[in-house]
């Protein structure tokens, strides 16, 4: 069996210390004070559920839990039952703050704060040494929220009765999965077409959830024609045209689930939702307990209201939110001022973003003169030297971000400071930048002081940033303004070009953008090939037309759809490294770190993407009596995956 | 008269058909569609959606079909079954979503309307009958401030001030415990408690405008000869005022009824957005922004229909009220 203990012990220890340093009070043991004991039972349950058991509406807790429930250790202390947690979702992106399921759920596997991976929903897992087979051992007696057993059939059903059915909407298994087999009721085996070590990471998040690989098959079968010959009639009765439409309607998982009765494995299940409020209530069949034998979660109910960004802040300031994280560093002073009246504590949580503002010169620019310039590493280095990062950090980011190049965050286990903070071109040296540009033959200037390119045109570029609803924050736009001034000082003009997200996606394959501003992720488990946030301008869609070449290579894009010229050699090398990383290295292994070190060495050397600041913290507001909320971010993943991950153990003191 | 109405209704149906097409096309104009919005939203949360998933989404929403086919299916369902399709962003039927918000929109708009009239009409009359008095100046100052202050700004200020002074919960129309509760007396009372701020904010500009209109048209009317004649004949001042000039001065308000209907449903979108009120306006904006095409098209279609019905009603009222139009019809 593969275990993935890879993080230096020191780092783990540091994180744990940071966690406990925040914890107010000395973890006194308040276990079981309010917990209702079941008659002669092993486990304890919430009073709310005990009442239902007494009324005969629910089986006793011992029967609801698996034979071996998952035992979770509290990060601060053992909690007590009860309460409703009130949160708000920012209408522009109603995803944060427990506002949707992928963010507050648990998955087959989990990653601990020290970076080690262990089984969670599953009892155990096994990845074959050739990375061709992955086996999940399920917990016997574990149940969906309606009381149905979770069995291997729930995984097999998705593959063969949903993925393979054209009329059923599904995201399904990753393309690498060839077959899914039930070895017995509680053992599922996945066989791959190609080596796929990343399956371990997939099982840590939504890719291992009921969005994709598992479904409440017993419940869903009543709408499936192969299991219910009357499915069409049943569908008509419910007002649908055919069985598949009815099936999709009951199965739809996302945002929000259409049928609130769809069984779940999460700590809370849907109660109801409207366009302004979403309510969840505890799942009586949740499979995990704390070390005192209390069934989790502690909190009875989540009420999440969707409000606009300004109201969101006012709600938080008024002390109405028990937990809030959807704000930027610019809001910190306001939040801090109102800490006392709002009865909350606000902390700046370090973010794992490698770069909060980064610039990529579009390498496949249609203009041959610009293309030649952008592909010259000395040009990119000179542009990096021209940016006064310290000033930007002080004036825009309250001095809280880190002036650095675009790379992984500094807590990553194999991080080298020469990639980021101590990068040779992470300095402010306008004179040096000037002489480098002069040396490139850009020494002639026009009357406005702009340098002239080889075709006699002044150096004037557009700097495109996302102005959509989830686009650039106020801080990012101010940073662009300051960089514009810095670059003007060395004779290069950029014109800010805010575009809506959809427009950006449209033009990014046209080779018409000059400079593209993005955020880059910086997490340890960063998925090189399908990462988000522009991926240093090289992975995913950020690579513009090069992406079509790589897509064709992988068979995702027809050869005929390749556009533009093939990627330059050094970029192709980066891509090959990324492929190797995905196919042959196990997360946390030495090879994994070696490949990634090469990738980011290459990034540092070629400077395809210029970083300005990164790792900017964001304010996190937590109600003073809300316990067990982690206040540090592990370096291995994005905030959405980590902060709320522990919500099943949050409790009201 | 009947012929006139029949002809108007026929025209209305025709223009509704055209409107529905335009409404549907408008959503298709900007680049991208709901799937690209969705993929982008997922990416912001660290979820990378690959090609296979995108294809699944395209099929699910039938975006792979030609636009006219999508349109015919949508409009066909509306005409035949009253089914306006599914909202992609809310994952719910559009009819349900509109119904959910319609009540509150109407309550809010009607409430504002009534309050506006209750405040504006007496002040307007007072200002016109007592020009250049202290009261007139006070009303004028209030009126200009109300007209000049942008509503959204006033909304933000009031939200903050009421939070600080009275500890009122900012934004929304309900306390958390009543958010999803079925209607009950307690819920209505809770709604009443949340109404003052939105009513004041939305009502201010309207009130101010109304005061100005009433004051000017009434003071014009007051200097007419029939008023002077009536006064000379010794009719009581109050009787003169309310019997003729006020009734005429109120006319422009009544003729605006055509725009009242859509206004009641979607009015004050901006204020609703700032105050996070669960009305139709913000939902339409979200629908447009996220390219949630069935939701946005249906709301646009509905608003268009209400405008047309409103115009029809006001035209018919004019025929009834104004003899000149009746005579024109006869000739």
Q: Is residue A117 part of a domain?
A: no
Interchain CB distance below 8 Å, B40 and A93: no
Report percent pLDDT > 90 for chain A.
Answer: 44
Q: How many CB atoms lie within 10 A of CB B110?
A: 12
pLDDT tens figures, B141-155: 888 888 888 888 888
Mean per-residue pLDDT for B119-142? 88
pLDDT tops 90 at residue A422: yes
Which residue carries 């009253």 as its tokens? B82
Question: Which of B313, B308, B303, B305 minimizes the C-alpha distance to B266?
Answer: B303
A556 neighbourhood in chain B, CB within 8 Å:
50-51
Same domain, A55 and A84: yes
Interchain CB distance below 8 Å, B47 and A532: yes
When mean pLDDT is compared across A101-105, A282-286, A446-450, B209-213, the lowest value belongs to A101-105
User: Residues 6 or more apart from A331 whose CB is under 8 A from it?
Assistant: A313, A619
Q: Which residues pair with A89 in a beta bridge?
A: A306
**pLDDT, position B288:** 85
DSSP state for residue A295 in the 8-state scheme? B
User: Residues 6 or more apart from A447 whose CB is under 8 A from it?
Assistant: none
Q: CA of B277: which chain A residue's CA is closest?
A: A307
Number of A–B residue contacts, CB under 8 Å: 145
Q: Is residue A186 part of a domain?
A: yes
Same domain, A443 and A568: yes
Of A279, A318, A503, the CB nearest to B169: A318
More confident residue, A592 or A3: A592
Of A277, A310, A317, the CB nearest to B156: A310
Q: Do the bridges between strand A493-499 and strand A460-466 make them parallel or antiparallel, or are there none, so unpaired?
A: parallel
Q: How many CB atoms lie within 10 A of CB B176?
A: 16
Q: Which two tokens stand for residue A439?
A: 């040396």
Same domain, A575 and A528: yes
pLDDT tops 70 at residue B103: yes
Same domain, A480 and A513: yes
Same domain, A367 and A412: yes
Q: Which residues pair with A502 in a beta bridge?
A: none
Q: Is residue B244 part of a domain?
A: yes
Instruction: For residue A437, give Cα distances in angstroms to A379, A494, B181.
Output: 7, 16, 66
- Phi-psi domain of A34 (left: phi exceeds 0; alpha: psi -120 through 50; beta: other): alpha
Kindly report the nearest CA distance between residue B43 and chain A, in angstroms: 6
Same domain, A226 and A314: no
Q: Is residue B319 part of a domain?
A: no
Of A93, A307, A638, the CB nearest to B172: A307
Q: Do the bridges between strand A36-37 and strand A109-111 make them parallel or antiparallel, or are there none, so unpaired?
A: unpaired
Q: Grade residue A20 by pLDDT with cuts at 50, 70 and 90.
A: very low
Interchain CB distance below 8 Å, B179 and A276: yes
- Torsion, CA A327, CA A333, CA A337, CA A339, rounded to 10: 40
Interchain CB distance below 8 Å, A252 and B51: no
Sign of the alpha-carbon dihedral angle for A137, A139, A145, A146: positive
Q: What global pTM score does this model have? A: 0.81
Mean per-residue pLDDT for A350-379? 88
Kindly report the nearest CA distance between residue A437 and chain B, in angstroms: 36
pLDDT tops 50 at residue A534: no
- What gap in Å lies between CA B59 and CA B36, rounded to an integer? 13
Q: Is residue A538 part of a domain?
A: yes
Mean per-residue pLDDT for A122-127? 94
Q: Which residues pair with A306 in a beta bridge?
A: A89
B286 neighbourhood in chain A, CB within 8 Å:
91
**pLDDT, position A260:** 86
Kindly report the nearest CA distance between residue A167 and chain B, in angstroms: 9
Per DSSP, the residues of B48-111 read ---HHHHHHHHHHTTTTS-HHHHHHHHHHHHHHH----EETTTTEEHHHHHHHHHHHHHHHHHH
Q: Is residue B98 part of a domain?
A: no
Residues in chain A: 653
Same domain, A560 and A634: no
Interchain CB distance below 8 Å, B46 and A279: no
pLDDT tops 50 at residue A538: no
Interchain CB distance below 8 Å, A255 and B51: no
Q: Grade residue A434 by pLDDT with cuts at 50, 70 and 90.
A: very high
Q: Which two tokens stand for residue A154?
A: 């729930």
Interchain CB distance below 8 Å, A318 and B47: no
Mean per-residue pLDDT for A156-174? 85
pLDDT tens figures, A43-69: 999 999 999 999 999 999 999 999 999
Q: Which two tokens stand for residue A614?
A: 């990164």
pLDDT tens figures, A23-40: 333 333 333 334 444 444
pLDDT tops 70 at residue A528: no
Q: CA of A163: which chain B residue's CA is closest?
A: B56
Q: What is the CATH number of the domain that holds A345?
A: 3.40.190.10
Q: What are phi and psi of A77, to 5 degrees?
A: -160, 165
More confident residue, B328 or A388: A388
pLDDT tens figures, B7-29: 888 988 899 899 999 888 887 88
pLDDT tops 80 at residue A405: yes
Of A311, A531, A638, the CB nearest to B171: A311
More confident residue, B302 or A469: B302
**pLDDT, position B36:** 78
Number of folded domains in chain B? 1
> Which of A483-497, A568-582, B176-190 has the highest average model confidence (pLDDT)?
A483-497
Detail the DSSP E strand segments found in chain B. 86-87, 92-93
Report percent pLDDT > 90 for chain B.
Answer: 3
Number of folded domains in chain A? 3
Q: Is residue A260 part of a domain?
A: no
Q: Write down the mean pLDDT value for chain A.
A: 83
Interchain CB distance below 8 Å, B180 and A274: yes
pLDDT tens figures, A310-340: 888 889 998 999 988 888 888 999 999 999 9
Interchain CB distance below 8 Å, B179 and A307: no
- What gap in Å lies between CA B308 and CA A536, rounded to an integer? 53
- What gap in Å lies between CA A96 and CA A88, rounded to an integer? 8
**To the nearest 5 percent, what fractions of chain A are helix, strand and coil?**
35, 20, 50
Q: What is the CATH number of the domain that holds A191?
A: 3.90.76.10
A256 neighbourhood in chain B, CB within 8 Å:
90-91
Question: Which of A152, A182, A195, A25 minimizes the C-alpha distance to A626?
Answer: A25
Q: Is residue B295 part of a domain?
A: no
**Is some CB atom of chain B closer than 8 A to the CB atom of A503?**
yes
Same domain, A1 and A80: yes
Q: Is residue A121 part of a domain?
A: no
pLDDT tops 80 at residue B50: no
**pLDDT, position A35:** 42
Q: Is residue A119 part of a domain?
A: no
Q: CA of A352: which chain B residue's CA is closest?
A: B46
Q: List the domain range (segments joined by +) for residue A592.
A: 355-614
Q: Which two tokens stand for residue B240?
A: 């003169």
Q: Is residue A465 part of a domain?
A: yes
Q: Grade residue A539 by pLDDT with cuts at 50, 70 and 90.
A: very low
Residue A317 near residue A311 (C-beta atoms within 8 A): no
Q: Is residue A111 part of a domain?
A: no
Q: CA of B289: which chain A residue's CA is closest?
A: A469
Same domain, A162 and A306: no
Report percent pLDDT > 70 for chain A.
Answer: 85
Exposed, middle or buried, A399 (CB in 10 Å: 0-12/13-18/19+)?
Answer: exposed
- What gap in Å lies between CA A311 and CA B171, rounded to an integer? 6
- Torsion, CA A107, CA A108, CA A113, CA A116, rounded to 10: -160
Interchain CB distance below 8 Å, B30 and A500: yes
Q: What is the CATH number of the domain that holds B229?
A: 1.10.3720.10
Interchain CB distance below 8 Å, B53 and A171: yes
Q: CA of B89: which chain A residue's CA is closest?
A: A255
Q: Write down the mean pLDDT value for chain B.
A: 81
- What gap in Å lies between CA A502 and CA B269, rounded to an integer? 24
**Is some CB atom of chain B closer than 8 A to the CB atom of A460?**
no
Q: List the domain range (segments joined by +) for residue B262.
A: 103-290
Interchain CB distance below 8 Å, A102 and B36: no
Residue A110 near residue A123 (C-beta atoms within 8 A): no
pLDDT tens figures, A570-596: 888 877 787 777 777 888 888 888 988
Q: What is the CATH number of the domain that holds A464?
A: 3.10.105.10
**pLDDT, position A610:** 92
Same domain, A338 and A378: no
**Is some CB atom of chain B closer than 8 A to the CB atom of A521?**
yes
Same domain, A220 and A295: no
- B 151-210 residues inside an 8 A Cβ radius of A: 156, 159-160, 163, 167, 169-172, 176, 179-180
**pLDDT, position A2:** 42
Q: Is residue B120 part of a domain?
A: yes
Same domain, A209 and A184: yes
Detail the DSSP E strand segments found in A244-318. 268-273, 277-282, 288-290, 301-307
* Test the B interface: residue of A275, A518, A555 with most B CBs within 10 Å: A275
pLDDT tens figures, B59-78: 777 777 888 888 888 888 88
A85 neighbourhood in chain B, CB within 8 Å:
none
């Amino acid at each position: 069996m593969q275990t993935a203990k890879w993080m230096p012990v020191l780092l783990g220890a540091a994180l744990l210390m940071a966690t406990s340093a925040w914890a107010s009070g000395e973890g006194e043991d308040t276990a079981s004070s309010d917990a209702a004991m079941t008659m002669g039972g092993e486990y304890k349950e919430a009073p709310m559920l005990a009442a239902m058991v007494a009324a005969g509406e629910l089986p006793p807790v011992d029967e609801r839990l698996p034979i071996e429930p998952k035992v979770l250790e509290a990060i601060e202390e053992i909690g007590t039952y009860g309460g409703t947690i009130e949160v708000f979702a920012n209408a522009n992106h109603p995803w944060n703050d427990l506002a949707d399921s992928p963010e507050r759920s648990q998955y087959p596997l989990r990653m601990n704060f020290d970076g080690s991976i262990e089984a969670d929903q599953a009892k155990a897992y096994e990845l074959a040494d050739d990375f061709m087979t992955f086996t999940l051992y399920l917990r016997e007696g574990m149940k969906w929220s309606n009381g149905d057993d979770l069995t291997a059939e729930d995984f097999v059903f998705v593959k063969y009765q949903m993925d393979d059915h054209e009329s059923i909407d599904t995201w399904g298994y990753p393309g690498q999965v060839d077959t899914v087999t039930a070895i017995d009721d509680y053992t599922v085996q996945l066989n791959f077409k190609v080596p796929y070590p990343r399956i371990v990471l997939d099982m840590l998040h939504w890719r291992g959830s009921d969005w994709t690989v598992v479904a409440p098959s017993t419940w869903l079968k009543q709408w499936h024609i192969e299991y219910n010959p009357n499915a069409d009639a049943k569908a008509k009765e419910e007002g649908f045209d055919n069985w598949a439409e009815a099936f999709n309607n009951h199965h739809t998982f996302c945002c929000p689930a259409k049928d609130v009765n769809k069984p779940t494995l999460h700590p809370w299940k849907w109660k109801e939702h409207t366009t302004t409020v979403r309510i969840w209530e505890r799942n009586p069949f949740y499979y995990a307990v704390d070390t005192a034998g209390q069934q989790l979660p502690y909190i009875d109910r989540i009420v999440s209201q969707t409000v606009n960004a300004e109201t969101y802040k006012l709600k938080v300031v008024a002390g109405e939110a028990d937990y809030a994280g959807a704000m930027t560093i610019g809001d910190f002073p306001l939040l801090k001022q109102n800490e006392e009246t709002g009865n909350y504590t606000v902390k700046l949580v370090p973010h794992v973003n490698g770069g909060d503002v980064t610039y990529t010169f579009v390498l496949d620019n249609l203009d041959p003169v610009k293309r030649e310039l952008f592909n010259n590493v000395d040009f990119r280095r000179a542009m990096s030297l021209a940016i006064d990062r310290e000033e930007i950090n002080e004036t825009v980011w309250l001095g809280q971000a880190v002036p650095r190049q675009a790379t992984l965050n500094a807590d990553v286990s194999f991080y080298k400071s020469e990639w980021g903070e101590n990068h040779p071109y992470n300095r402010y040296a306008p004179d040096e930048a000037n002489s480098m540009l002069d040396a490139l033959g850009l020494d002639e200037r026009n009357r406005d002081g702009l340098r002239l390119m080889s075709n006699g045109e002044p150096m004037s570029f557009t700097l495109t940033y996302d102005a959509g609803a989830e686009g650039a924050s106020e801080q990012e736009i101010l940073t662009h303004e300051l960089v514009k001034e810095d670059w003007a000082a060395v004779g290069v003009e950029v014109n800010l070009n805010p575009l809506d997200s959809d427009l950006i996606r449209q033009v990014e394959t046209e080779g018409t953008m000059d400079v593209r501003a993005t955020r880059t992720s910086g997490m340890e488990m960063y998925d090189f090939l399908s990462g988000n946030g522009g991926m240093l301008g090289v992975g995913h869609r950020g690579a513009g037309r090069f992406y079509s070449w790589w897509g064709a290579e992988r068979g995702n894009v027809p050869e005929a759809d390749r556009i533009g010229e093939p990627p330059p050699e050094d970029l192709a090398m980066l891509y090959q490294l990324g492929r190797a990383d995905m196919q042959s290295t196990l997360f946390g292994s030495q090879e994994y770190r070696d490949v990634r070190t090469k990738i980011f060495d290459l990034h540092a050397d070629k400077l395809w993407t210029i970083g300005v600041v990164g790792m900017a913290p964001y304010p996190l507001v937590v109600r003073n009596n809300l316990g067990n909320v982690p206040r540090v971010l592990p370096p291995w993943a994005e905030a959405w995956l980590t902060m709320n991950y522990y919500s099943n153990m949050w409790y009201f003191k | 008269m009947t012929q006139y109405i029949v002809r108007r209704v026929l025209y209305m149906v025709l223009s509704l058909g055209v409107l529905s097409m335009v409404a549907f096309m408008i959503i298709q104009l900007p680049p991208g569609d709901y799937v690209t919005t969705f993929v982008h939203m997922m990416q912001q949360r660290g979820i990378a959606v690959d090609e296979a998933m995108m294809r699944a989404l395209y099929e699910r929403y039938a975006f792979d079909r030609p636009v006219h086919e999508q349109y015919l299916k949508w409009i066909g369902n509306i005409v035949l079954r009253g089914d306006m399709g599914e909202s992609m962003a809310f994952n719910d039927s559009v009819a349900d979503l509109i119904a959910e918000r319609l009540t509150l929109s109407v309550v809010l708009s009607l409430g504002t309307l009534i309050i506006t009239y209750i405040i504006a009409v007496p002040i307007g009359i007072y200002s016109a009958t007592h020009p250049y008095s202290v009261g007139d100046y006070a009303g004028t100052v209030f009126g200009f401030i109300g007209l000049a202050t942008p509503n959204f700004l006033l909304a933000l200020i009031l939200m903050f001030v009421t939070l600080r002074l009275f500890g009122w919960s900012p934004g929304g129309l309900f306390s958390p415990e009543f958010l999803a509760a079925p209607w009950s007396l307690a819920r209505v009372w809770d709604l009443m408690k949340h109404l003052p701020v939105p009513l004041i904010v939305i009502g201010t500009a309207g009130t101010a405008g109304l005061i100005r209109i009433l004051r000017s048209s009434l003071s014009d009317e007051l200097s007419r000869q029939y008023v002077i004649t009536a006064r000379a004949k010794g009719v009581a001042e109050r009787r003169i005022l309310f019997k003729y000039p006020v009734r005429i001065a109120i006319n422009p308000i009544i003729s605006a009824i055509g725009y009242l209907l859509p206004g009641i449903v979607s009015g004050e979108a901006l204020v609703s957005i700032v105050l996070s009120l669960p009305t139709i306006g913000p939902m339409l904006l979200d629908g447009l922004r996220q390219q949630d095409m069935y939701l946005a098209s249906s709301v646009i279609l509905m608003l268009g229909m209400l405008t047309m019905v409103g115009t029809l009603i006001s035209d018919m009222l004019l025929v009834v009220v104004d003899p000149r139009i009746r005579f024109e019809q006869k000739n």
